[in-house]
Amino acid sequence: MEPDHANVSSFSEPRSLAPSTQGRRVRRGLGALLLGMCLLVLAVPAASADLDSAAQRFAHPERYRLLFDRLTARGIPPAQIEALFTSEKAERRDTEAVRLRSDVQEIPKHKEAERRANQRYLYEAKVLARHLREHAALYDRMEAEYGIRREIVGAILLKESALGRYDNFDHDAFVVFNSLLDGLEVPPDAGPRLERRIPRLVQLAREQLIALVLFADQRGLDLAQTPLPASYAGALGIPQWLPSHLDYAVSANGGVPDLSHLPDAILSTANLIRNKFGWPERMVAFRRLENLPRIVDAWLAFDDGNASFAHDRNSDGQPLQRFDQTRSDLPNVTYVGRYVRALMRYNFSSDYALGVLQIARRTRKLQDDAS
């Protein structure tokens, strides 16, 4: 079965392109986190921290002992750890996030939603073309610094948050990952996939909590008080990043990066896919995507629920049929596969990656036709 789509984007959630009052409040919360505007002093008890007692507050104390050991090894004071994980915020639970991430029955729904979204955003290619014209100078800079086509980065941001117009993310990243770490369990009747999936998600939750605590510590933020607006997958900002990617955020003006600020989101996305996700050295040659619609049609016919465009295994370790090898007879399929693999490091979904390439190709055609 194709991997789930919840690594970065929140595509299974309905998205309105119209900004909302709640969304603006959410964005301000994220800006406070990423800009370091909310410099709240952590209230730590005078007495020495009791991390074992703090761990005992949770359903799986052994998971928290390991988390606390990792945090102290990274230099976080024990009293600071205790203050955060005994706070009111640490008691909140996001049951929806736990259900959506752990229910393997949701995975086919993610796939269907991703494909519908691709078709919807293909029709919005004209919106992306206009956006690229309006921000031409910034995209010129991005291409010069990172060697990635503007249509690719623009297509990612269009799919993730409608180029920043959708900002009504009503989950909190800390609460999401803390809920996963504390709430995930392998049920007695679990099948092989769920038996593999739950430990992977527990590890993911621990890694993201470590990333959040380190990020906040570096900026003097109190996670117990600072809102972290996110998708149900815990993804942040216009480009919908996991906290572990925040080290790749860059600022357009040399200040503190803010992923709710479009210029920073554009440059940061290019930096991430170039320097972390192994983007191929050459810019995409759009002439080699001319038969992309035919390739996508062949992929849709090939995918029986146990296939990937460019990977041998899904995120839970199960073997998959690999399309780019099986259908190597198709012109340019190997070339397309290189970029699909890189994009799947952003969101581990063949359909997501193909959607980005399809949107980018159509947007480029609209630009060429208009010139």
DSSP 42-70: P---SSPP-HHHHHHTSS-HHHHHHHHHH
Identity of the amino acid at 300? L
* CA distance linking residue 246 with residue 304, whole number of Å: 35
Q: Looking at the predicted structure, is the pLDDT value of residue 140 above 90?
A: yes
* CA distance linking residue 258 with residue 37, whole number of Å: 11
Instruction: Report the predicted TM-score, pTM, of the whole model to 2 decimal places.
Output: 0.85
* CA distance linking residue 269 with residue 278, whole number of Å: 13
pLDDT of residue 30: 55
What confidence tens digit (pLDDT) does each residue in 93-132 have? 999 999 988 887 777 788 899 999 999 999 999 999 999 9
Q: Looking at the predicted structure, is the pLDDT value of residue 21 above 80?
A: no
How would you classify residue 55: left for phi > 0, otherwise alpha for psi between -120 and 50, otherwise beta? Answer: alpha
pLDDT of residue 105: 78
* CA distance linking residue 264 with residue 241, whole number of Å: 13
Q: Which residues of 266-304 are buried (b: 16+ CB within 10 A; e: fewer)?
A: bbbbbbbbbeeeebeeeebebeebeebeebbebbeeebe
Identity of the amino acid at 39? L
φ, ψ (nearest 5 deg) of residue 300 = -65, -35
Q: Looking at the predicted structure, is the pLDDT value of residue 29 above 60?
A: no
pLDDT of residue 255: 86
What residue spans in the chain does CATH classification 1.10.530 cover? Answer: 107-166+275-370
Higher pLDDT, 17 or 61: 61
Q: Looking at the predicted structure, is the pLDDT value of residue 273 above 90?
A: yes
Greatest distance between any 2 Cα atoms in the chain:
69
Q: Which residues of 337-346 are buried (b: 16+ CB within 10 A; e: fewer)?
A: bbbbbbbbbb
The distance from CA 360 to its chain's CA centroid, rounded to whole angstroms, is 19
| Pairing state between β 229-230 and 171-172 | antiparallel
pLDDT of residue 48: 57
Cα dihedral value 86, 92, 95, 100, nearest 10? -80
- The residue-averaged pLDDT of 305-327 equals 93
What confidence tens digit (pLDDT) does each residue in 321-352 have? 999 999 999 999 999 999 999 999 999 999 99
Confidence at 190, pLDDT banded by 50, 70, 90: confident
β-partners of residue 322 are 308
Q: Looking at the predicted structure, is the pLDDT value of residue 88 above 80?
A: yes
- The residue-averaged pLDDT of 8-12 equals 37
Q: Which of helix, strand or coil describes residue 172?
A: strand
- The residue-averaged pLDDT of 156-163 equals 96
DSSP 12-49: TS---SS--HHHHHHHHHHHHHHHT---PPP---SSPP
Higher pLDDT, 192 or 303: 303
pLDDT of residue 104: 76
**Residues in CB range of 184: below 8 A, 6 or more apart:** 98, 101, 102, 198, 201, 202, 205
pLDDT of residue 10: 37
Q: Under a CB-based contact definition with an 8 Å cutoff, are residues 263 and 48 in contact?
A: no
Question: What's the CATH number of domain 107-166+275-370, 1.10.3470, 1.10.530, 3.30.200, 2.40.160?
Answer: 1.10.530
Cα dihedral value 338, 344, 346, 352, nearest 10? 110
* CA distance linking residue 88 with residue 241, whole number of Å: 25
pLDDT of residue 31: 57
Could you tell me what percent of the chain has a pLDDT over 70? 87
What confidence tens digit (pLDDT) does each residue in 211-257 have? 999 999 998 889 999 999 999 999 999 999 999 999 999 999 998 89
pLDDT of residue 39: 42
Which of 27-36, 44-53, 280-289, 303-312 bottoms out in mean pLDDT, i.e. has the lowest?
27-36
pLDDT of residue 13: 36
pLDDT of residue 287: 95
Residues across the chain: 371
Average pLDDT over all residues of the chain: 88
